[in-house]
Every structure is written in C-alpha cells, then in structure tokens.
Amino acid sequence: MTATTTQRATPSGAPQHRRSPSRRRPGGSLRRMRQATPLTYFALIMTFILSVFPLWWMFVVATRTTTAASQFPPALVPGANFFHNVGRLFENSSANFMTGLMNSLIASTSVAVSVVFFCSLAGFALAKLQFKGRAFFTVAVVVTMAVPVQIGLVPLLILMDWLGWRGELQSVIVPFMVSGFGVFMMRQYVLQTIPDDLMEAARIDGCSTFRIYWSVVLPALRPAMVVLGLLTFMQTWNEFIWALAVLSPENPTVQFSIQQLNESAFSRDFALMFTGATFATLPLLIIFFVFGRQLVGRIMEGAIKA
C-alpha cells in the first residue's frame, strides 16, 4: 500500500490522543478559517442521531410489545416488557438462543486468545530472531492478508466433512486461530518497542528463546495485544457467513440464532427479534464503551501507516 504519512507513527495499539492540529496554532486567520460554525455542529449532531437511532430503537422495541415496531412516529422511550421478552427469547425453541450465546462467547474468546498468542509468537520471530528465509516469510505473511478466505467456502466445507467437524463448534474456531494481519501488526510493534539490548541481556542471563518471548517480550506487547484481541473478538462475534454455512440451527452462534428468529417467525415477532438483536450486540457495545478510544486511535493509526 502507498504511504500517506509525513508523521512518524507511534507503536500500533498504543492509545493516542491527537488533538486537532489547528488548536496548537494560536491566532491568525487560519484559526478563524478552521473554526467550527453552527453548520458544523448541525452536521455532527445529525451524524450522531443517525448513528445512534437504529441501536436505540432496537433496544426500545426490545422493551415493548411487537406493535411498537410498526408504530409511527417511532417509539423512543423504553417500555416495561424487556424481561418478559428476554424470558420468551430463551424459551424459544427454534432459536436455541442460550446455546448460540454460549457458543459465540466460547468461540470469540478462544479465537482472540489464540490469535494474540500465535501472532505475537510469529511476529516476535520475524522481527527479532535471525534465521534463514526471514525476509521471505515476512513477505509471505503480508501476501496472506490479501487472500479473501470466504471464497474457499465450498472446499472448506468439504474439509470440515473430512474432519467430521460439520456442525461442531471447533469449525468456527480452528480455521481462524491465526491471522496474517495479526502477525504483521505484532511484528511492527515488536520492532518499535523492544530494544535488542534487552534481549541480549536476557540471553546472557541464560534465558531460552521461548523464555525471552514469555518474560521479556509479552509484557511489553500488552497494549498491542489488547487491541488485537478486541478486534479479533469483535470479528469472530460478528462472523455470519461461515457460521451459517457450517453450523446447524441446533448448535448455532448468536448471529445464526437471530437469523433463525428472523426467518422462522410466521407473523413476525419483532419484540422477540429485537431482544435477540440486542443480546447479539451487547458484548460489542460493552467493548465500545470501555475501549472505544483505543479503537479509534488504532483505526486512525492504521490508516496513517497503511
């Protein structure tokens, strides 16, 4: 990809709080030019409303009866039916919602842990260890990032049949346990944060290579690991295409469950569907509220380095 940077990027994953550069420049006509007008705030508030409305409305309908979904003007205040709907959701036999929720939690957590572990291991080796073919393997990792895996759908299904994993939870875990993006991100971070001296000192102290990774490198990688772990968790939690292909309604992920509700209902039970949708979004919203700033920083930084 082309370089867009004139600014040195800080280590990936580290939270950054950039200010609008114009703030640093006092006085002058430029300051006036870059100042916000009422129109600016109008545009931003519209964006805010458009971004939040679908989510808020989803939650509101989840707390009411199904007629709220077709009410106009739209219902905007939560009702009293949320726990009633939650009860119906978990009793609903076609969705297997509890199984879906548990499966998604297990799959997303194990994929995130695995990606963070294997990618930091490989990233460390590619950044700091001397071995034949290092340059070749580094390029190979970058190339894998460009391969759209979804396209191998049919053979991957055949492979799952061979392994006997069709319909089993490991089918949505094992194929995603590593990521080229993760390896590359970790390699960059190791290059920027771990000084060679530190490794040599550990080596002289008699540490094995794995011990160096475990006791010296991993602690320093924590910020990058958090961001990679979160992004991977979100991605796995959101995965829909492959889950739909390989799993069954009896053993779904949460996204698959809500699609079951969406498809199966005769007269559509919107309150039920929206309650399911709320649950399918909840962990992601928690991540948003706790780590939103870091993620914004990461996206903006990735853009500069891309």
Residue list 10-69, contact with other proteins (CB under 8 A)? 18-23, 25, 28-31, 33-36, 40-41, 43-44, 47-48, 50-52, 54-55, 57-58, 69
What DSSP line would sit under 65-102, residue for residue? -GGGGG-SSPP-S--S-HHHHHHHHHH-TTT-HHHHHH
Residue 88 or residue 134: which is nearer to other proteins going by CB? 134
- Which lies closer to other proteins via its Cβ, residue 51 or residue 91? 51
Helices 254-264 and 222-238: crossing angle, nearest 10°?
20
How far from chain centre, in Å, is Cα 296? 12
Residue 14 DSSP symbol: S
Q: Which tokens sit at 240? A: 């829909």
Should residue 208 be labelled a site residue for other proteins when binding is judged by CB under 8 A? yes
Q: Kindly report whether the peptide bond that precedes residue 73 is cis, defined as omega within 30 degrees of 0.
A: yes
**Least distance to other proteins from the beta carbon of 92, Å?**
15
Rounded least distance, CB 84 to other proteins, Å: 20
For other proteins, the closer of residues 82 and 118 by Cβ is 118
82: buried, middle or exposed (CB in 10 Å: 19+, 13-18, 0-12)? middle
Instruction: Select the residue interacting with other proteins from 76, 87, 94, 129 (CB under 8 A).
Output: 129
By CB under 8 A, which span of 76-84, 87-95, 219-227, 285-293 interacts with other proteins? 285-293
Which of 10, 65, 109, 238 binds other proteins (CB under 8 A)? It is 238
Angular region, 13: left φ>0, alpha ψ -120 to 50, beta rest: left
- How far CA 191 is from CA of 116, 126, 131, 184, 292, in Å, comes to 17, 9, 16, 11, 26
The interface region with other proteins, picked from 95-103, 105-113, 191-199, 267-275 by CB under 8 A, is 267-275
- Of 78-86, 88-96, 105-113, 203-211, the segment contacting other proteins by CB under 8 A is 203-211
Which residues, numbered 66-105, are part of the site for other proteins (CB under 8 A)?
69-70, 72, 74
